[in-house]
Structure 1
Amino acid sequence: MRVRVSLLCLSFLILLSGILSAEEPAHIGSRRELFVDDWMIHSLKNARQELHHPVPQEVAITYDAPAEGNISYYVRILKDGDLYRMYYRGAHHDWSKGKVTHQVVCYAESDDAIHWRKPDLGLFEFNGSKKNNVIWTGTGAHNFSPFLDTNPKCKPDEKFKALGSGKGGLYAFASADGIHWRLLKDKPVITKGAFDSQNLAFWDEHRGRYVDFHRGFTNGVRAIMTCTSDDFVNWTTPEFIDIKNSPPQHLYTNATIAYPRAPHLFLAFPKRFVPSRKAAWHPDPKNNHPGVSDGVLMTSRDGMHWTRWDEAFLRPGQNRERWWQRNNHIAWGITTTPSPLPGHVPELSLYAIENYYVGPCRLRRFTLRQDGFVSINAPFTGGEMTTRLITFDGPQAKEGKGKPPVELELNLSTSAAGSVKCELLDEKGQPLPGFSLKESEEFYGDELDHVMTWKGKSDLSAFAGKPLRVRFVLKDADLYSLRFRNGE
């Protein structure tokens, strides 16, 4: 009897083990996967996810024109063909009178996202002159937030769209050229929320819908709400996003984008606001109001469920002007800019506000490696990362060229003494013949798009559609992203 019970227990444990080990493979096609969350990670051994930080560069623009001022804010940067467009609130707080003197929407543009100009548009009169860069003065001027509509059904005269707050909620705007704007509806299209922030929306190509992210309050804390739409006018009921395993903190803005190199991933760069703290030093002590800020990084795969890095992505740093109240607002929009260093590939540029309220208010550019938000990092003693079970697409034939190989492309960096090797594992965790760690090249260097080889072989077409894992062995190295490219 005891033997029978033991055998039954053993059978149950074996069955349970099989159930627990069963894992449905995730199909990643040929898309790029970053390590900003743990979605791709099955296991880590002596390795970790490391958050990286943007590097400050030059001041991109100073908001010193008459229609601008010391509280120019809520910056939006987008690329339109070969032109970069910047939209922002032009506003000024008069400390002697204790009030805001004006709020308008201003515009600047650039050919390289580094050097910016403010065109004289002659559209709206300000202080008795139309010689200015103002593009809107009515409803929504407080936080006007445009985007370039990539919806294939978008009407030509609505190529640009925007949200801006007014009486009762958020209003919808449209423009054919990004300069001349009109209201799409004389009533707000989104009414549930608290809209004194940079509230934004854009066409989500991956999911085929418009998506909105705007401010709401929950238990007295500034938070983020979201809703969706098929036509930009009729929206679902907003809901609060879910941020797992993070403490409630004031998120003043959100600056959410679909990351261009991996558009299935949402990245957000909220300004984290600490209302109880004030700067240790201020040029005007009587106006040293509380409310220091930094920038954090969040990521989501559906727009509702988010992972937030609680350590700051953008610290105020040693610049005192970024410690004053409500600074370090990261602009909505990331650009790709050339590196000034010889032999370096283009890098990402982000932008953030400094010297807010005190003035002159400025926007500083920051740079970051492409895909360089978070890496799998291992020390010199070595570490490992094994991916979840995945499948990828086979080769896609090109007209007149046949089928290209499918190759594992990595964005990675090592020290001179460091290295990266990898192997392909089957569902049982066994190395695939010819693609084991022993046969892997030992990579050292720094590349955005390195193709891994195993004894000179790189074509993985034979494994397309078959569940597998990739096991990486790293030594003083960082792995930022991977994809199985098939001829792109």
Structure 2
Amino acid sequence: MVRRDSRDGLFKCWYEDLIDHDPKDSLVEARQCYAVSEDGVTWEKPELDIVIEDGCKTNVVLGGANGVDHAHSLNVIEDPFPSDDARRFVGLFSHYPPFQGEIRAAYSPDGIHWTVDEQRPAFGTLGASMGDASMLHYDHSARCFVANCRHWHQGHPCLSPRNPIGPVNPGPRYPHDFSRQNRRRIWFSESFDLLHWSQPYLVVCPDHEEDNLDDGFYGMVYDQFGSFYVGFLSVFHRVLNEIDVQLVISRDRKQWHHVNKRQPWLTLGAPGEWDQHNIAMTSSVIEVGDELFIYYGGANCHHDYFIWGPREGMDHPEVHDRNLTQFGLGLARLRKDGFVSVSSGALREGLLVTRPFLSTGTSLVINGRCGKDGYILAEVLDHFDELMPGRSRQACDVFTGDSVSHKVTWQGESELPAARPEFGGDTVFPWKKTTPYRKLRFFLRNAELFSFRLTEA
């Protein structure tokens, strides 16, 4: 996973290293390594003295030291309001053994030197026994941490003789709802101190519309764009033993909706490429100039053939030679707000009218791209659908370029007039007289409109 340090501007990456003690066994030991980059593309693995192997320095920062012998699926964020600089970076990770899904919290002043909290986090009544792949976020409005996590006690369904009902696998069972028997679902929990978490709340799970009984949701990170949250959902296809990424959207982070007919958004690489079987996201996107940097983990191997294959007696090259399994960090780039656009062709002019909205902004900025002979024009209306003075399409200075931040002008002027007072005014609520309810009307030809925003002039 990758974060950009708000203080020094460096890109910092934490990634997992697996130690294979016995190729005939399914158990591997995990630890966390560190890399750094100035531009987010060219990376350096610094030689650190935290973990020494065979007399040599390594870039291992967690696991094999810190009193932690096995550190898996570390997820890190920068705390915007740390109690002290020693806790500027915070993280959650899974600690084994014993193999019981124990979550631990850790703190660091620089992302390199970590202190593991002796107190185990408690997720409601579940304690520290949560599944792996917890994704950590920060809610700036509530000033609390948010975890999208996996519920440990909702484990494998008893559909296989390898998972019989018993003390180790007691349930619960939901024979009327197959999705609730799925091990991999997304839960939501909040905390003010990284230790005391709210009772996990189920927010995303496979449903009947998936039309595929074997799909599970491995993990999800999200980002806020305007009033929407965009989630990057890593979907595990168990029969194929592959993972890809789909998009989901929400307004409150608890009710999520699939988009693009549930098709992959980040697709697997072609056969023979380094990410042909697995793509997963564990980092939020990073804005760099006019682009969004989207980091993902990829692999040329299947999800777990090399782990569980030996125990199952599987006959596959990845089982016989674990050196064939290669993992890497990938970077996808997207223009700002480039997830979706309202587009028009060259034959007919397109028309887009917004709903009435409130905004204190006084200038209109659009993110658009025009093709050959294409254009975008804008009008400003009040909530009675009447044109605001001087803000018609005839007065609009035509936009014919490609820009993520173009300020719209009308005969050289960009200021948006305030809305007219409501009919009759309002003596009880005087603010209604000047509330700027406005609407926008866009005209497009052979052009794409990705987003718009109202800003202060």
Shift, 1:239, TM fit? 0.3
Alignment correspondent of 1:417: 373
| TM-score of the aligned structures, taking structure 1 as reference length | 0.70
Matched residue type, 1:170: I
Give CA-to-partner distance per residue, 1:281-307, whole Å, 9 cap, x none: xxxxxxxxxx12221122323221223
Alignment correspondent of 2:119: 186
Q: Secondary structure at the residue paired with 1:157?
A: helix
User: Does residue 162 of structure 1 match 2:91?
Assistant: yes
> Whole-Å Cα distance in 1 between the matches of residues 55 and 367 of structure 2?
51
Shift, 1:195, TM fit? 4.5
Matched residue type, 1:297: L
User: Does residue 469 of structure 1 match 2:443?
Assistant: no
Shift, 1:235, TM fit? 1.5
Cα 1:418/1:319, change in 2 over 3 Å: farther
Give CA-to-partner distance per residue, 1:293-344, whole Å, 9 cap, x none: 221122323221223221221111424346654x11124132344xxxxxxx
User: Does residue 149 of structure 1 match 2:82?
Assistant: no
Alignment correspondent of 2:314: none
Alignment correspondent of 2:333: 367
Cα 1:94/1:352, change in 2 over 3 Å: farther
> Whole-Å Cα distance in 1 between the matches of residues 395 and 92 of structure 2?
55
Identify the structure with bigger relative contact order (alpha carbons < 8 Å, sequence gap 6+): 1
The 8 Å contact of residues 383 and 437 in structure 2, kept in 1 or not, is answered as yes
Cα 1:242/1:196, change in 2 over 3 Å: closer
Matched residue type, 2:281: I
The 8 Å contact of residues 218 and 235 in structure 2, kept in 1 or not, is answered as yes
Matched residue type, 2:149: H
> Whole-Å Cα distance in 1 between the matches of residues 20 and 257 of structure 2?
36
Give CA-to-partner distance per residue, 1:209-239, whole Å, 9 cap, x none: 2211112453315221111122222211110
Shift, 1:384, TM fit? 2.1
> Whole-Å Cα distance in 1 between the matches of residues 129 and 403 of structure 2?
44
Q: Superposed, which structure 2 residues align to 1:303-318 within 5 Å? A: 303-309=253-259, 310-318=262-270
Alignment correspondent of 1:295: 245
Alignment correspondent of 1:388: 355
Q: In structure 2, which of residues 180, 192, 210 is the aligned counterpart of residue 230 of structure 1?
A: 192
The 8 Å contact of residues 84 and 113 in structure 1, kept in 2 or not, is answered as yes
User: Does residue 335 of structure 1 match 2:286?
Assistant: yes
Cα 1:139/1:389, change in 2 over 3 Å: farther
> Whole-Å Cα distance in 2 between the matches of residues 148 and 354 of structure 1?
24
Alignment correspondent of 2:148: 213
Q: Secondary structure at the residue paired with 1:247?
A: helix
Cα 1:354/1:230, change in 2 over 3 Å: closer
Alignment correspondent of 1:132: 58
Q: In structure 2, which of residues 384, 395, 416 is the aligned counterpart of residue 428 of structure 1?
A: 384
Shift, 1:447, TM fit? 0.7
Matched residue type, 1:141: A
Q: Secondary structure at the residue paired with 2:394?
A: helix
Alignment correspondent of 2:176: none
Q: Secondary structure at the residue paired with 1:241?
A: strand
Alignment correspondent of 1:34: none
Cα 1:101/1:272, change in 2 over 3 Å: closer
> Whole-Å Cα distance in 2 between the matches of residues 243 and 478 of structure 1?
33
Q: In structure 2, which of residues 271, 295, 317 is the aligned counterpart of residue 351 of structure 1?
A: 295
Matched residue type, 2:190: T
The 8 Å contact of residues 172 and 189 in structure 1, kept in 2 or not, is answered as no
Matched residue type, 1:203: Y
User: Does residue 447 of structure 1 match 2:403?
Assistant: yes
Q: Secondary structure at the residue paired with 1:462?
A: coil
Matched residue type, 2:251: R
> Whole-Å Cα distance in 2 between the matches of residues 330 and 454 of structure 1?
43
Q: Secondary structure at the residue paired with 2:264?
A: strand
> Whole-Å Cα distance in 2 between the matches of residues 378 and 269 of structure 1?
27
The 8 Å contact of residues 351 and 363 in structure 1, kept in 2 or not, is answered as yes
Structure 2: give runs of 5+ residues left out of the alignment.
Answer: 155-179, 302-323, 420-433
Q: Secondary structure at the residue paired with 1:82?
A: coil
Matched residue type, 2:239: S
Alignment correspondent of 1:37: none
Q: Percent identity?
A: 25
Matched residue type, 2:444: L
> Whole-Å Cα distance in 2 between the matches of residues 352 and 101 of structure 1?
22
Shift, 1:369, TM fit? 0.7
The number of residue pairs the alignment matches comes to 376
Cα 1:317/1:242, change in 2 over 3 Å: closer
Q: Secondary structure at the residue paired with 1:351?
A: strand
The 8 Å contact of residues 296 and 313 in structure 1, kept in 2 or not, is answered as yes
Shift, 1:254, TM fit? 0.9
User: Does residue 173 of structure 1 match 2:123?
Assistant: no
